[in-house]
Amino acid sequence: MALKTRIREYREKAGMKQSELAELVGARRETIGHLENGKYNPSLKLAMAIAKVFHVTVEDLFEFTED
């Protein structure tokens, strides 16, 4: 299974830089970049923090797809 993410879409819609999102959720900018590029699977805590920033559910941000 692969993890598909919509973080970049929500972040850009909010006019936010990766570094700004990272600061809000207590992560590194590189972590946000890896999440957006599908190179990193977030912890539940991080996924929930990002969802809270955008006022959406975790399911709105992440989707598991079959490879």
pLDDT of residue 67: 65
As a whole number of angstroms, the distance between CA 2 and CA 24 comes to: 26
Percent of the chain scored above 90 by pLDDT? Answer: 81
Q: What is the pTM of this model?
A: 0.90
Using alpha carbons only, give the angle 37, 9, 4 rounded to the nearest 5 degrees: 45
Alpha helices (H) along the chain: 7-13, 18-25, 29-36, 44-54, 58-61
pLDDT of residue 35: 94
**Tens of pLDDT along 14-23?**
999 999 999 9
CATH of domain 2-61: 1.10.260.40
**Tens of pLDDT along 18-67?**
999 999 999 999 999 999 998 888 999 999 999 999 999 999 999 877 76
Q: Say how far residue 57 (Cα) sits from the centre of its chain.
A: 11
